[in-house]
Amino acid sequence: MSTENLHNQEAIDKLKELIDKIDIGMLGTYPATSDFIHAVPMSRQEVDDEGNVWYLFSSESDTHTHLKANDQVSLLYSDISSHSFLSVNGHAEISRDQARIDKYWNKMIEGWFDKGKEDPNIRVLKVVPSEAHYWDTKSNKLITFFKAAARAVGAKTDVGRQGDLHI
């Protein structure tokens, strides 16, 4: 696997490409009462032009409680079918921005909030990346398997790329 570190717009584009392709990732927060990460599956609403990742979530959740005490987050995405993976660390900003709630509101979100868009527990979560790392094969599973097998017997073949995303 070769290394391809990306910077600025290329890094944002790669981050957006992977998150949009994978969609649901694990959002990790750091509870004050534990030495371990607390992770929950979350579907992103948007990756904006600056590389920030946006979500809607509930102020009644453990995630919200953890973020009020510690704004550090980790996002972990994996797509086994394409062998694409992404790890993002950053910090969270929480708001009650009604314009964002309106923008992101959809039938899937509606299922989580009984009182609709006006539910007082809806919060907007903005994750601002501090560091990110990706692994991406850029080919399908079968081709990746054959490339890996060829490498195992000494062939010089590239099974994919990995690198840091400097946003």
Query: Domain of 25: which CATH number?
Result: 2.30.110.10
Per-residue pLDDT reduced to its tens digit, 120-134 = 999 999 999 999 999
Distance CA 107, CA 135 (A): 32
Above pLDDT 70, what percent of the chain?
87
Q: What total of structural domains would you count in the chain? A: 1
Residue 99 class from Cβ within 10 Å (0-12 exposed, 13-18 middle, 19+ buried)?
A: exposed
Question: Which whole-number Å values give the CA distances from 163 to 14, 63, 69, 123, 132, in the listed order?
Answer: 11, 29, 31, 32, 9
Give the pLDDT of residue 116: 93
The residue ranking higher by pLDDT, 58 or 148, is 58
pTM, full prediction: 0.86
**Nearest CA-CA partner of 124 in 90, 107, 100, 88:** 100
Give the pLDDT of residue 160: 82
Q: The dihedral of CA 94, 100, 102, 105: what is its sign?
A: negative
Domain that holds residue 148: 2-166
Distance CA 167, CA 53 (A): 12
